[in-house]
Structure 1
Amino acid sequence: MTLPAAPAVPVSDADLFSEQARIDPYPIYDELRELGPVVRLARQDLYALPRYDEVRTALMNWRVFSSARGVFVDPEVNAQLEGITLCSDPPDHTMMRSVLARPLRQDRMREIAPRIEAEADRIVTELVGRGRFDAATELAEHLPMAVVSELVGLPDRGRDKMLEWAAAIWNVQGPANERFTAAMPAVQEFTAFATDEAVPGNLRPQGWAAHLYEAAERGEIPPEKCPVMMLDYVTPSLDTTILAISNTIRLFAEHPDQWDLLRADRSWIPHAINESLRIESPVPQFSRVLTEEHEIGGVVLPAGSRVALLYGSANRDHRQYPDPTRFDITRRPSDHLAFGRGEHVCVGMHLARLEMTALLERLADRVARFEVVESRPMVNNGLRGLERLDVVVS
C-alpha cells in the first residue's frame, strides 16, 4: 500500500519588508492566509504562520517555538541579542521578566494613573483649543515622552534620543536591507549609552532603569543583564504606544459612527482600544525557532526552522473575526494578538492601555469629529503606523 505524499509547503515570493509592504501589508497577508496555515517565504528563507489559530498556538508553546535564538530576521542580529528578555526562554526569561515587569504591573499603574491623566488633560485641552494638530507627534508622542521617559529615568541625553534609538532598534528587526543598514549606527550608539552612561550615579533615583541595578545588587539578576534589559523599557514604552494612539485617531476619523458610540458610552473605550490594536497592529511580526520537528497544518517542519508569527495577518483572519476589515468597537476582540500571548506577552501593555484610555476619555469630552487633513505612513522593518497625522477637530 502506498501512503499519500505529505503535503508540500506553499511558497511565496512576497517581500514583507519592501517599502510598499511596510505601508500596506494587507494584500500580502490575504494571499498568505489563502495559501495555507504555514507558508515558506522564499525571499527571507523562513516559514510564516499567517492565520490566527496557528499563531496563537505557537505563542502559547515556548518549548517548541523558542525565542532563545532571537526573534528577528537577520541571523547576526539574532545571535547578538541572544539572552536579552525578548530573546530568551524560561527559566532565564522568567527571572528577567519578574524584575522588568515590577514597575509595569497593573497595580503599579494605579500609582502613576493620576499623573498620566493630568498630563493627558493638559495636552488634550491645549491641542483641541488650537483646532488643528499632528496627532502622530503632538498628541501620540506626548505622554510617552513627557511622562514615561521620565519614569524610565535615563540621563537627559538618553531621554532626548529615546525615539530615535527605539525606531532604529525596530528597524533591525528585519532583513539586512537599506533601512536595517541605516539604523545600525543608532543601535550601536544606544548600546554604548546603555553600557557606559546609563549606570548608577547617572540614573534618576527610583526610576525604572535604576530599579534594574538595585535588583542586580540583591542578586535577582546578573549585573551584566542590566544594560540590555534597558532596551525593554525603551522600545515597548514608546513607538508601539505612539503608533497605537495615532492609529486609533485615524480609525475614529474614518468611522465617525464609532466615535459617536464611544462618546455616548465610555465603557466602550477598552473594547475600542482592543479593536484598534486588532485591525492595525503596531508590531506586525516576530519570529521563533523550532526546538524539534513539528507539524503545522499537516506539514512537518524540521527542528531549527525559523518561523515568523504574523500578528498583523492573524488579527485579520476571517476564521477568527467575521468581516475582519471592519472597525467595530462593539466586537470586543480581547483575544487579539497585538500584545502577543503566553510567556512573551507585552510587558508594557497595562501602561499602553492606561495612556490610551486617558487620552480617549478626554478627547471624548471635547471632540465631536476628527477630520484627517494630511497623513504620512511610517516605513520601518518592525513597526507599522503613521509618521504624521494632521487632523482638524470640531
Structure 2
Amino acid sequence: MGVVSAPADGFALADRVCSAASRNAQPALDIDPFSIEYFEDPYPAQELVRESGSAVWLPRYSVWAVGRYEHVHTILNDWQTFCSSRGVGLSDFAQEKPWRPPSLVLETDPPEHDRARAVLARVLSPVVMKSLRTQFASAAERLVERLLDLRGFDAIADLAQAFPLSVFPDAVGMRADGREHLLPYASVVFNAFGPDNELRRQAIARSAPHVAWVAEQCRKENLAPVGLGAQIHAAADAGEISRPEAETLVRSLLSAGLDTTVNGIGAALYCLARFPRAWELLRANPMLARAAFEEAIRFESPVQTFFRTTTRVVTIGDIEIGEGQKVLMFLGAANRDPRRWPNPHVYDITRVTSGHVGFGSGVHMCVGQLLARLEAEVLLAALAQRIKSISIIGMPKRAFNNTLRGLDALPVMIDPA
C-alpha cells in the first residue's frame, strides 16, 4: 500500500498512512477523530478515511473506521453482524461496565430492542406528530415575532435552542422547573460515546445533578397525566413494558428528542445564512422547509459518528475484520461521499436527500426523527414567511462534543420581509 498524503490545508490531523496492527496488514490512519483539532475542521480527515480504503485501522483507539456511504449504510442495516448491544460508543459493554444503564432502544438489539422500540414508535407516530403540528407552528410564529423586534440575536441560544425548549418539554409533560438540566444531560450522553478524553471526563464529572434530575422526571408521578411521557407509562400500565423500562424509555426520549434537534436546527440556520441562494428558494417557497432541514442534516451531520461491534468475522469491501472488533462509522463522511452525492460539499435544498444517514438507518434509526423534522419544518417555514434576509454578523463559535457537531453561538442579523 502506497503512502496517501494528507490534504494540503492540514492542521496535521493525519500526516501518513501506515501499516495496520492487524492480521491483514491493511491501511491505518494516524488521526484522532475525537480531538479539538479534528472538530474544528473534520472534512480533510473524513476524506482521508473515505479514500484510504473500504475500512481503515485507527491504531490510536484500536478500532476500524468506515467512511464510504455504501459501507456505512450496510453496517447500519445489519444489526446481526454489527451489533449495538455491546455499546454504540467506544466502550465495549462485554468488557466494561457502562457509565449508566444502557438505552433500551439505542444499545440493545432485536428482539429485546423491538419491544421497547414499538412503544416509542407508537408514542412518536405520524398521527401524534400531526396532532402537535398546530401547537408547534403557533409557538414558532410567536418566537419569530419576538426575534423580529430584536433584529440581531444569537441564532443558537435564541432560536435553535429556544424553540425546542419551548415546545418539547411541554409535549413530553415535564414540569416547568429544572429544564435547564436538559441540554447538559444530552451533552453528557453524547460525549460519553467517545474515548476517555477530557471532554468525556469533564462531562461525566459534571453529570450528577443533570442525571439525577432527569431520572426523577422520568417517573410517572412527575409527568403530566397527558403527554408523550404519560403515553409511555400507559404502556407499562397495559403490561407491555415494566415500570422501570418505561422510565428508561422516557429517558431515551429526552436524549433523542432535544440535543440532536437543537444541532439540526442550528445546522439549517448556519447553512441558510451562508448560502443566500438557498434562502431565496426557501423564501419563495416555504414548503421547502423540510427539504432545507434534510439537506442541512446531510451537509452538516449533527450526529457525526457511532460505533458498532462485530459479532463474527466479516468482510467490508476488501478488508476482513475479526469478531468482537469495534467499528467506527463516520456518518458525516458518508453523507458527503461523492460516490453517493453529486457535489456533496454544496448545500442544495433542491437535492433529493432520501437515504442520508444523518438519522442513522435500519432498526436503530433515530426514534425522535419525526419530532425533529416537525420542529424544524414549522420553524424554518415561519422564518421564511416573515424574514427577508439572514446574515452572520460575528464569528460563529463551535461546540465541542465527542459525537455531535454543532455551534455554541451564531450571531446573526435579520431583516423583516
Identify whether the pair has TM-score above 0.5, normalized to the shorter chain: yes
The one-letter code sitting in structure 2 at the alignment partner of 1:251 is: C
| Aligned: 1:379 with 2:396 | no
* SS, match of residue 380 in structure 2: helix
What's the CA shift string for 1:231-254, capped at 9, x where partnerless? 211122111111111111111111
The one-letter code sitting in structure 1 at the alignment partner of 2:32 is: D
Q: Name whichever of 327-336 and 73-82 sits farther off.
A: 73-82
Residue 80 of structure 1 and its aligned partner are, at CA, apart by 4.8
Which of 265, 277, 286 is equivalent to 1:245?
Answer: 265
Residue 57 of structure 1 and its aligned partner are, at CA, apart by 0.7
Q: Work out the number of aligned pairs and report it.
A: 389
Against the structure 1 CA distance between its residues 87 and 372, is the aligned structure 2 distance closer, same or farther, given a 3 Å change threshold? same
Aligned to 2:38: 21
Instruction: Give the Cα–Cα distance (whole angstroms) in 1 for the partners of residues 163 and 103 of structure 2.
Output: 30
| Aligned: 1:40 with 2:57 | yes
Residue 157 of structure 1 and its aligned partner are, at CA, apart by 4.4
Against the structure 1 CA distance between its residues 238 and 215, is the aligned structure 2 distance closer, same or farther, given a 3 Å change threshold? same
Summarize the alignment of residues 45-60 of structure 1 with structure 2, pairs less than 5 Å apart.
45-60=62-77
Residue 185 of structure 1 and its aligned partner are, at CA, apart by 3.6
* SS, match of residue 312 in structure 2: coil
Aligned to 1:273: 293
Aligned to 2:246: 226
Summarize the alignment of residues 338-377 of structure 1 with structure 2, pairs less than 5 Å apart.
338-374=358-394, 375-377=396-398
Instruction: Give the Cα–Cα distance (whole angstroms) in 1 for the partners of residues 287 and 246 of structure 2.
Output: 39
| Aligned: 1:295 with 2:311 | no
Residues 84 and 108 of structure 2 are in contact (CA less than 8 Å); yes or no, is this contact kept in structure 1?
Answer: yes
Residues 155 and 411 of structure 2 are in contact (CA less than 8 Å); yes or no, is this contact kept in structure 1?
Answer: yes
Residues 315 and 336 of structure 1 are in contact (CA less than 8 Å); yes or no, is this contact kept in structure 2?
Answer: yes
Aligned to 2:87: 70
Instruction: Give the Cα–Cα distance (whole angstroms) in 2 for the partners of residues 123 and 214 of structure 1.
Output: 33
Instruction: Give the Cα–Cα distance (whole angstroms) in 2 for the partners of residues 31 and 164 of structure 1.
Output: 32
Instruction: Give the Cα–Cα distance (whole angstroms) in 2 for the partners of residues 318 and 8 of structure 1.
Output: 27
Instruction: Give the Cα–Cα distance (whole angstroms) in 2 for the partners of residues 185 and 212 of structure 1.
Output: 30
Calculate the TM-score normalised by the size of structure 2: 0.89
Aligned to 1:3: none
Aligned to 2:11: none
Residues 182 and 214 of structure 2 are in contact (CA less than 8 Å); yes or no, is this contact kept in structure 1?
Answer: no
Against the structure 1 CA distance between its residues 203 and 270, is the aligned structure 2 distance closer, same or farther, given a 3 Å change threshold? closer
Residues 103 and 252 of structure 2 are in contact (CA less than 8 Å); yes or no, is this contact kept in structure 1?
Answer: no
Q: Which runs of 5+ in 1 are unaligned?
A: 1-5
Summarize the alignment of residues 87-126 of structure 1 with structure 2, pairs less than 5 Å apart.
87-126=107-146
Q: Name whichever of 183-192 and 112-121 sits farther off.
A: 183-192
Question: Percent identity, aligned pairs only?
Answer: 36
CA RMSD of aligned residues (A): 1.8
Instruction: Give the Cα–Cα distance (whole angstroms) in 2 for the partners of residues 15 and 142 of structure 1.
Output: 33
Which of 192, 207, 210 is equivalent to 1:172?
Answer: 192
The one-letter code sitting in structure 1 at the alignment partner of 2:282 is: L
Which of 322, 336, 340 is equivalent to 1:316?
Answer: 336
Q: Name whichever of 148-157 and 286-295 sits farther off.
A: 148-157
What's the CA shift string for 1:336-388, capped at 9, x where partnerless? 11011110111111111111111111111122221111210101112101110
Instruction: Give the Cα–Cα distance (whole angstroms) in 2 for the partners of residues 155 and 385 of structure 1.
Output: 27
Q: Which runs of 5+ in 2 are unaligned?
A: 1-22
Instruction: Give the Cα–Cα distance (whole angstroms) in 2 for the partners of residues 114 and 392 of structure 1.
Output: 28
Against the structure 1 CA distance between its residues 188 and 230, is the aligned structure 2 distance closer, same or farther, given a 3 Å change threshold? farther
Summarize the alignment of residues 166-205 of structure 1 with structure 2, pairs less than 5 Å apart.
166-196=186-216, 198-205=218-225
Instruction: Give the Cα–Cα distance (whole angstroms) in 2 for the partners of residues 330 and 247 of structure 1.
Output: 17
Residues 96 and 221 of structure 1 are in contact (CA less than 8 Å); yes or no, is this contact kept in structure 2?
Answer: yes
What's the CA shift string for 1:137-193, capped at 9, x where partnerless? 111112211110122223444523111111111111111111111111444444434
Instruction: Give the Cα–Cα distance (whole angstroms) in 2 for the partners of residues 313 and 151 of structure 1.
Output: 34
Instruction: Give the Cα–Cα distance (whole angstroms) in 2 for the partners of residues 332 and 388 of structure 1.
Output: 29
Instruction: Give the Cα–Cα distance (whole angstroms) in 2 for the partners of residues 23 and 152 of structure 1.
Output: 34
Residue 84 of structure 1 and its aligned partner are, at CA, apart by 2.4
Against the structure 1 CA distance between its residues 187 and 213, is the aligned structure 2 distance closer, same or farther, given a 3 Å change threshold? farther
Instruction: Give the Cα–Cα distance (whole angstroms) in 1 for the partners of residues 217 and 294 of structure 2.
Output: 37
Residue 194 of structure 1 and its aligned partner are, at CA, apart by 4.6
Residues 74 and 176 of structure 1 are in contact (CA less than 8 Å); yes or no, is this contact kept in structure 2?
Answer: no
The one-letter code sitting in structure 2 at the alignment partner of 1:290 is: T
Against the structure 1 CA distance between its residues 358 and 197, is the aligned structure 2 distance closer, same or farther, given a 3 Å change threshold? closer
The one-letter code sitting in structure 1 at the alignment partner of 2:49 is: L
Which of 260, 279, 291 is equivalent to 1:259?
Answer: 279
The one-letter code sitting in structure 2 at the alignment partner of 1:18 is: S
Instruction: Give the Cα–Cα distance (whole angstroms) in 2 for the partners of residues 119 and 259 of structure 1.
Output: 22
Residue 227 of structure 1 and its aligned partner are, at CA, apart by 3.0
Residues 185 and 211 of structure 2 are in contact (CA less than 8 Å); yes or no, is this contact kept in structure 1?
Answer: no
Q: Name whichever of 87-96 and 100-109 sits farther off.
A: 100-109
Residues 70 and 79 of structure 1 are in contact (CA less than 8 Å); yes or no, is this contact kept in structure 2?
Answer: no
Calculate the TM-score normalised by the size of structure 1: 0.94
